Structure 1
């Protein structure tokens, strides 16, 4: 069955899209996705194939997740999500065991809030803080993006604490992720976001701040950006 899904993914490959993916996901030398390889499948096609092969044995899903091809890994993550409800422990063990293969922003964003998020609900969340304090960009992004699940349930405390931990991060992919989560908090409770921003907005990376205040009224945005809020 593993050979069948690999064959189907290969049959849907597109050389032009693959070349575009190298640029879009920065897989070129020196880029954050350096060394990744692409087949050039669209996400909707990968979701469709994942649904078709959702009963793929999880040991084979894990093998797919270890593939050198980006689309193999993303499709494997989609299959894990489809199996999460009925096989929580096994799915999460595979996910955490192969977290080094969740190694680009789309892989993180498509999986962390849908796997780690629900799994950690009403559980100890220390693993998120360990990931946030690691020296691995993708694990750090997993930490903050996982909190999107809690944010959607109006639970902001871990998102705010992890945002604090990542405030001085040097990579713009973390700046964007933190800013995005702060913006999502603001959509649900602007006062909570404002309290956080008033404490940190003068020292936050510019990209993080811009993402966080994207939905603010223009006059307020300009005051914040000028540091006169």
Structure 2
């Protein structure tokens, strides 16, 4: 199937063909779609992640306008598939032999627009995309965008800001993670606490545990219990207990 022939409707049909109604019920509970929950009102077909990823691979040539249509879908798996396809296109445009900064910029704009209109609106959607799109894009650029996202009212924009720094951590750079963490210390939303603790833990795991403990020496008392639990998970038991006692 050539690029011009691939459409969002094709992806949606492929997902619908493998949907499972029982899985849909499970996923709606797992992703907290009930009244007042963080995923309130989201709709699931009942397609598990490995199967969604497999379908997304078949549509690597999907044009950006069709990816945007997927991201505007009311169906969670449609949006997830759209993000997986976007990840792959961004990675392809970032390779030395196929590098295309104009194409990358267009993908970033599309992604940010989807984030800001509330279409990247659950933790799995954020976690599967932020470090693969915004992180690499900002690797050699000023990172003001992340601080703008971290200051937004939207829980999901703030989580995008934190998760984008995973790309920097994997390249040995904890500076932006620490700066954003200091901004979000008082944000006690559960999904921000978990993201904050997770990124701090990864600094200690992937870069240097002394960087993590240095941050905790200053801020452990300000961190929520969830963030502190995540951040100290891989520390020595005695050290972990000391930080958690603060």
Measured against the shorter chain, the TM-score band is over 0.9
Q: Deviations for 1:138-167, whole angstroms, at most 9, x for unmatched residues?
A: 000000010000001111100000000110
Q: Equivalent residue for 1:204?
A: 223
Q: Equivalent residue for 2:26?
A: 20
Query: Which stretch shows the higher mean deviation, 85-94 or 170-179?
Result: 85-94
Q: How far off its partner does 1:217 sit?
A: 1.1
Q: Equivalent residue for 2:234?
A: 215
Q: Contact (CA 8 Å) 2:11, 2:78: kept in 1 or not?
A: no
Number of equivalenced pairs: 227
Q: How far off its partner does 1:197 sit?
A: 0.3
SS at match of 2:165: helix
Q: How far off its partner does 1:121 sit?
A: 0.8
* TM-score, length basis structure 1: 0.97
Q: Equivalent residue for 1:97?
A: 113
Query: Which stretch shows the higher mean deviation, 70-79 or 40-49?
Result: 40-49
Q: Deviations for 1:185-226, whole angstroms, at most 9, x for unmatched residues?
A: 011211111111010111210100000000011111112222
Q: Equivalent residue for 2:100?
A: none
1:169 equivalent among 176, 182, 187:
187
Q: Contact (CA 8 Å) 2:216, 2:243: kept in 1 or not?
A: no
1:38 equivalent among 22, 37, 44:
44
* Counterpart Cα distance in 2 of 1:109 and 1:78: 11
SS at match of 1:101: coil
Structure 2 residue runs of 5 or longer lacking an equivalent are: 1-5, 94-102
2:86 equivalent among 80, 99, 115:
80
Q: Deviations for 1:110-139, whole angstroms, at most 9, x for unmatched residues?
A: 000000010111101101000001111000
Q: How far off its partner does 1:56 sit?
A: 1.3
Q: Equivalent residue for 2:150?
A: 132
* Counterpart Cα distance in 2 of 1:10 and 1:199: 50
Query: Which stretch shows the higher mean deviation, 109-118 or 217-226?
Result: 217-226
Kindly indicate whether residue 76 of structure 2 is the aligned counterpart of residue 57 of structure 1. no
Q: How far off its partner does 1:58 sit?
A: 1.3
Give RMSD over aligned pairs: 0.9
* Counterpart Cα distance in 1 of 2:105 and 2:223: 37
Q: Contact (CA 8 Å) 2:71, 2:83: kept in 1 or not?
A: yes
SS at match of 1:23: helix
* TM-score, length basis structure 2: 0.90
Query: Which stretch shows the higher mean deviation, 87-96 or 147-156?
Result: 87-96
